A and B are shown apart, each in its own frame.
Chain A
Amino acid sequence: MNHANITEILNKYQGDESSLIAILQDIQEEYSYLPREALVQVSKEMNVPLSRVLSLATFFRAFSLKPKGKHSVHVCLGTACHVRGAQRVLEKFERELGLKSGETSEDLLFSLDAVRCLGCCGLAPVVQVGEEVHGKITPAKVTGVIKKYRK
Chain B
Amino acid sequence: MPKLTLDDLAKIREKTKRLTTIRVGGEYRAKVCVHMGTCGIAAGARTIMNALMKELEEREIHDVLLTNSGCAGLCSREPMATVEVAGQAPVKYVDLTEKKIKEIFEKHVLGGKIVQEYALGIGSEKTDY
Q: Touch between A and B in complex, CB under 8 Å?
A: no
Give chain A's interface residues, CB within 8 Å of chain B. Answer: none
Give chain B's interface residues, CB within 8 Å of chain A. Answer: none
